[in-house]
């Protein structure tokens, strides 16, 4: 990636977490045994994940050695484990931005770009861009 | 002459020991792990998540991803309560719209 791309990448990551911490239902249509406790466990697991991912992100952003300078630009060095949590972080930003935009049925067909919507449109599209690059790197496609 | 009546043979009772040896999945209620479609998650991403969470090969993950995309949902697994909860936790960590439902 180029220097500008790196700056955009880090700016994007600083938006995490973007998905509102509202409870996400464990079940849509069924009454589960001990439903309250199960839902609480899910909420706690997701909250714990946010804390962990935040810590990992901070480490990444401070570790300049991860961005290796090459003649053609910069190379971000990630392990497979790094890639997984980074994918989760990027998707949180993408989904969170989509929610902020009102969860449109077609994320690409917004009525208009306003000062209010532009930051979330940018975050949604950029996180998708970096997600696809990470997935390509994983699959070798 | 009286007709010869073939007696009805009742099914042999299953010994209790045999019942107890049956795999748990046949005895416990099952819970379905379901992934629901949404407009925001990329197809490639969903495929990747299925591979990571379930350890599936790419083809199987793609099959279920396409089910989600084309039919609105896919039943990914039928498991015990605890296992189904575990899978839903994992899928939701990736921000997929996943829930568990009783297998009626």
**B98, B36 contact by CB (below 8 A):** yes
- Rounded to two decimals, what is the model's pTM? 0.83
Phi/psi at A37 (5° precision): -65, -40
Would you state the pLDDT for residue B7?
46
Burial B13-36 (b: 16+ CB within 10 A, else e): eeeeeeeeeeeeeeeeebbbbbbe
pLDDT in the model for residue B4: 45
Partner-chain contact A45 B89, CB within 8 Å: yes
Q: Do A26 and B99 touch (CB under 8 A)?
A: yes
* The dihedral formed by the CA atoms of A29, A31, A35 and A38, expressed in degrees to the nearest 10: -50
| Cβ neighbours around A44 below 10 Å, total | 11
Whether A88 and B41 lie within 8 Å, measured CB to CB: no
Distance from CA of A89 to the nearest CA of B (A): 8
Nearest CA in chain A to B45: A135
Judge contact between B32 and B100, C-beta under 8 A. yes
Q: Which domains does chain B have, with CATH numbers?
A: 41-104 (3.30.1390.10)
| pLDDT score for A141 | 59
Q: What's the pLDDT score for residue B26?
A: 55
Query: What gap in Å lies between CA A32 and CA A10, rounded to an integer?
Result: 41
Cα B81 to chain centroid, rounded? 11
Over residues A103-107, the mean pLDDT reads: 86
Interchain proximity A131–B45, CB inside 8 Å = yes
Other C-beta atoms within 10 Å of A89: how many?
Answer: 25
pLDDT, averaged across chain A: 88
Identify the burial level of A83 via C-beta atoms within 10 angstroms of its C-beta, where 0-12 means exposed, 13-18 middle and 19 or more buried: middle
Parallel, antiparallel, or unpaired: how do β-strands B31-36 and B98-102 relate? antiparallel
The residues of A whose Cβ lies within 8 A of any Cβ of B are 19, 24-33, 38, 41-42, 45-46, 49, 84, 87-88, 91-92, 94-95, 98, 103-107, 124, 128, 131-132, 135, 138-139
Give the C-alpha separation, A132 to A139, whole Å.
11
Residue B99 has its nearest CB partner, among A28, A131, A139, at A28
* Spatial separation of the C-alpha atoms in residues B84 and B30, rounded to whole Å: 9
Q: Given A84, A106, A139, which is nearest B39 (Cβ)?
A: A106
Query: What mean pLDDT is predicted for residues A62-81?
Result: 82
Q: Is-contact B81 A10, C-beta < 8 A?
A: no
pLDDT at residue A46 greater than cutoff 50? yes
Q: What is the dihedral of CA B61, B62, B64, B70, to 10 degrees?
A: 160
> Which residues of chain B are under the pLDDT cut of 70?
1-29
* Residues of chain B with C-beta less than 8 angstroms from the C-beta of A30: 31, 100-102
Alpha-carbon torsion, ordered A57, A58, A64, A66, to 10 deg: -30
């Amino acid at each position: 990636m180029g220097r500008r791309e790196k700056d955009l990448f880090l700016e994007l990551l600083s938006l995490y977490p973007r998905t509102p911490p509202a409870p996400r239902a464990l079940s849509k249509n069924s009454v589960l045994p001990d439903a309250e406790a199960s839902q609480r466990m899910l909420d706690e697991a997701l909250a714990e994940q946010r804390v962990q991912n935040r810590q990992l992100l901070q480490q990444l952003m401070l570790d300049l050695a991860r961005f290796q300078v090459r003649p053609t630009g910069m190379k971000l060095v990630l392990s497979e484990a790094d890639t997984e949590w980074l994918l989760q972080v990027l998707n949180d930003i993408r989904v969170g931005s989509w929610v902020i935009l009102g969860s449109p049925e077609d994320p690409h067909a917004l009525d208009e770009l306003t000062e209010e919507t532009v930051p979330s449109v940018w975050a949604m599209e950029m996180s998708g861009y970096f997600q696809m690059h990470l997935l390509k790197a994983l699959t070798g496609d | 002459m009286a007709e010869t009546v073939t007696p009805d043979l009742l099914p042999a009772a299953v010994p209790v020991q045999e019942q107890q040896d049956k795999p748990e999945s046949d005895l416990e209620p099952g819970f379905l792990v379901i992934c629901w479609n949404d407009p925001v998650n990329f197809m490639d991403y969903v495929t990747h998540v299925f591979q990571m969470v379930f350890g599936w090969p790419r083809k199987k993950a793609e099959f279920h991803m396409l089910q989600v995309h084309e039919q609105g949902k896919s039943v990914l697994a039928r498991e015990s309560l605890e296992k189904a909860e575990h899978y839903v936790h994992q899928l939701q960590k990736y921000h997929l719209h996943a829930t568990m439902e009783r297998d009626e």
